[in-house]
Structure 1
Amino acid sequence: MLTDKRILLIIGGGIAAFKSLDLIRRLRERGASVVPVLTPAAEHFVTPLSASALAGEKVYRDLFDLTDEAEMGHIELSRAADLVVVAPATADLMGKMAGGLANDLASTVLMATDKRVLIAPAMNLRMWEHPATRRNLATLEGDGILVVGPNEGNMACGEFGPGRMAEVPEIVEAVEAALGTGPLKGRHVLVTSGPTHEPIDPVRYIANRSSGAQGTAIAAALRDLGARVSFVTGPADVPPPAGVEVIPVQTAQEMAEAVNSVLPADAAVFAAAVADWRVANAAGQKMKKDGSGSLPTLEFAENPDILASVSQLQAGRPKLVVGFAAETHDVERHATEKRARKGCDWIVANDVSPGTGIMGGAENAVTLITANGAETWPRLTKHETARRLALRIAEALD
């Protein structure tokens, strides 16, 4: 699947660097050529000779190599590749990337490239959870850097938790997806995202606290796996991803109409936080206080149930329909009941009670409800949650 693709592999200085040698082998098995770049710290874990022998290519190490730089080597390296992969991406490398530093060959190549960049973070769990790393990760994701992992597991230091570099097959999958040869190529997926705004008058509206970050990340992850994505989004706090068909809406009724307009689809992911009710007697002008102390009376009407209507289609139903359930208590029970009531295939449930920081935050902790039961995922960034869900969708559609 990677025939004639050229991968520039930057190997950072961490114990997980030993996996980079197997990564070279697996990428070459799929037809790619791999050009290794070693940081000075990486040479304490893998040798240039071993990387060169497995890659069948020269290993690049020194920013000030007279021969290479006479031909502007770091610029050529950064532009000749189809994809730049950083594995392992250490805390130091992530910090340099987020800060725009370029003081060695690896960081200079990353600053000079005009190609997509995929990183596989690997570090001690305390380093991964450090506020500086979280800020750097958010910056990199905002810049469009692709991220795979890290996973939970035992560390070389003896601790257990998130920080292990993703396994080689996972990184290969992410490389294939980044290069547009992913498992969803040729598939059409509908994604809804964000809140809806239900007008009270031209100034005021009813909404909820959804930022749209999770739905946006899901649309991007599906795109990265090769899908054609129709993205129906309410007024979210985050911009829509590039490379997808964006259909902006405001109200639940507009969202229902937009959903119907893009069907049929192979799969549909309803991540939007749609308001259950709208104001039936919304005012055409701004409502004013009259000084009498009397309060306006709002009459409510039920909004269309988009998830249920698509799940119960007799013709043209997507093969896979995924709903979301934001709950504040008894999450698994309520989500399981919702799946049965709506008729969808999966429910992605999360606890958005006060104190979790999930609603509007950068992370999520979900339970996937399917016909086979409940599967609880660890707390992850919303981008990683999206990537895992997109891979599961690809498996289901295969």
Structure 2
Amino acid sequence: MLTNKKILLCVTGGIAVYKAAALTSKLTQKGASVKVIMSESALKFVTPLTFQALSRNDVFTDTFDEKNSEKIAHIDLADWADIILIAPATANIIGKIANGIADDMISTTLLAAEAPVWAAPAMNVHMYAHPAVQKNMNTLRSFGYEFIEPGEGYLACGYVGKGRLEEPETIVQKLHEYFDGQKQRPLKGKKVVVTAGPTREKIDPVRFISNLSTGKMGYALAKEARELGAEVVLVSGPVHLDPPADIRTIPVESAEDMYQAVMEQSENADVVIKTAAVSDYRPKNYHPQKIKKMPGSEVIELERTKDILMELGSRKGSKILVGFAAETEHVEEHARGKLERKNADLIVANNVTIEGAGFGTDTNIVTIYSKEDEPLYIPQKTKGQIAKDILNKVIELLNKKD
């Protein structure tokens, strides 16, 4: 699948540059056409001649060194590439691109690029974990950049941890899978917003109202939608799950927080999947100090939170809107009622009292209700497998609209 694929390799300065040389060799052996741009810092580790010999193409190092007077090199390279790979990607280049800085050959080319861009970070474990670096990576994810996560192990600086450039063989395999799967990415070009987890409605500084949702179903849907080619935004309540590496995740706490985030992100979305178990009620009055234990009963007055699914349905337009119904009785009746009232396209309903289908499990048992088709019953499967089934129904609806 790499034969004749045009891969632009951007090499920035770090000890892992030697792996970029091996990567160039392996890609060329697989039949890819590889062109290399090196940063000034990368030149301190390996000479351009190494990459020229391995790629059998000119190597670019200077924005103002135009090798062909008929073309502007950084624009021509950006237009030429089927995919752009930054490997190793230093904290410096990640920060520059995230903030629109174009002061060398690599950064100017990346800002001019419309091809997919993948970045394979390599740096000290503490640098990688720094909030600024993580923020910049999340910014690039929001631009559509993909990240090849670094490996863990002994680093050149002497530390042991996460920060090693992924092995060339693994990167080649990921590229192979990418090109092999291009025809099997039916959500490519679509923006999918997924909500996940519970919300928390504060009573006082130490207590809150919440529910048993763990976010597993929503996270599975977000990951599967990304695998199918979508740009995914995950709006997540407080959970004990690691944010997916290649998905923009917006953490929220309260129902109001989730409402604001979902309304903003859904404006230009093609699909909204509302998996989150949002609190229906919140305390009417928040106590700024901890409520002390007193004799007798304590009454907490509650008020309704905003109905996010209802609001989405009222302004749905051409979007596909998917809601969830976690029920304990009369599942079909409640699901069909929700489908109509909320103007949803699909309602995914389950009985949380059934073993294997409740909150916190790795499996689920659901029925998908739509306005046009018969209910689709899905027996017990992993939540990842059920995510595939749900998204297949979403793709069917998108195809009908197209």
Q: Does 1:223 align with 2:256?
A: no
1:4-29 CA-partner distances (Å, limit 9, x unpaired): 11000000100001001111121122
Matched-pair contact (CA < 8 Å) for 1:150–1:166: yes
Looking at structure 2, the residues matched to 218 and 59 of structure 1 have their Cα atoms a distance apart, in angstroms, of 37
1:213/1:166 CA distance change after superposition, 3 Å: farther
Matched-pair contact (CA < 8 Å) for 1:10–1:87: yes
Matched-pair contact (CA < 8 Å) for 2:218–2:276: no
Report deviation, 1:178. Answer: 3.6
Q: Which residue of 1 aligns with 2:176?
A: 176
Matched-pair contact (CA < 8 Å) for 1:193–1:215: no
Q: Which residue of 2 aligns with 1:65?
A: 65
Q: Which residue of 1 aligns with 2:399?
A: none
1:64-89 CA-partner distances (Å, limit 9, x unpaired): 11444662111001111100000000
Matched-pair contact (CA < 8 Å) for 1:195–1:273: no
Matched-pair contact (CA < 8 Å) for 1:194–1:215: no
The one-letter amino acid of 2:87's match is A
The one-letter amino acid of 1:167's match is E
The one-letter amino acid of 2:365's match is S
Q: Does 1:20 align with 2:20?
A: yes
Matched-pair contact (CA < 8 Å) for 2:88–2:119: yes
Q: Does 1:99 align with 2:99?
A: yes
Identity %: 33
The one-letter amino acid of 1:194's match is T
- Aligned residue for 1:161, secondary structure, equals strand
Matched-pair contact (CA < 8 Å) for 1:90–1:122: yes
Q: Which residue of 1 aligns with 2:365?
A: 309
Report deviation, 1:47. Answer: 1.1
1:163/1:38 CA distance change after superposition, 3 Å: same
- Aligned residue for 1:46, secondary structure, equals coil
1:304-328 CA-partner distances (Å, limit 9, x unpaired): 83844369xxx9979x94338xxxx
Report deviation, 1:173. Answer: 2.5
Q: Which residue of 1 aligns with 2:140?
A: 140
Matched-pair contact (CA < 8 Å) for 2:364–2:381: no
The one-letter amino acid of 1:18's match is Y
Question: What is the correspondence of 1:1-398 to structure 2 with a 5 Å cutoff?
Answer: 1-68=1-68, 71-179=71-179, 181-182=180-181, 185=184, 194-195=195-196, 210=215, 214-215=219-220, 217-224=222-229, 237=261, 246=271, 248=273, 275=326, 277=328, 302=352, 305=357, 307-309=363-365, 321-323=381-383
1:141/1:186 CA distance change after superposition, 3 Å: closer
Question: Which structure 1 segments of 5+ residues have no match?
Answer: 199-204, 253-271, 285-300, 325-343, 346-398
Matched-pair contact (CA < 8 Å) for 1:74–1:109: yes
Matched-pair contact (CA < 8 Å) for 1:74–1:108: yes
Report deviation, 1:248. Answer: 3.9
- Aligned residue for 1:118, secondary structure, equals strand
- Aligned residue for 2:228, secondary structure, equals helix
- Given the two structures, how large is their TM-score scaled by the length of structure 2? 0.55
Looking at structure 2, the residues matched to 194 and 119 of structure 1 have their Cα atoms a distance apart, in angstroms, of 26
- Alpha-carbon RMSD across the aligned residues, in angstroms, is 4.7
Question: Which structure 2 segments of 5+ residues have no match?
Answer: 200-209, 238-257, 278-322, 338-350, 368-375, 387-402
1:174/1:220 CA distance change after superposition, 3 Å: farther
1:49/1:151 CA distance change after superposition, 3 Å: same
Looking at structure 1, the residues matched to 19 and 224 of structure 2 have their Cα atoms a distance apart, in angstroms, of 30
Looking at structure 1, the residues matched to 382 and 19 of structure 2 have their Cα atoms a distance apart, in angstroms, of 35
Looking at structure 1, the residues matched to 78 and 35 of structure 2 have their Cα atoms a distance apart, in angstroms, of 11
1:248/1:187 CA distance change after superposition, 3 Å: closer
Report deviation, 1:193. Answer: 5.4
Looking at structure 2, the residues matched to 97 and 212 of structure 1 have their Cα atoms a distance apart, in angstroms, of 33
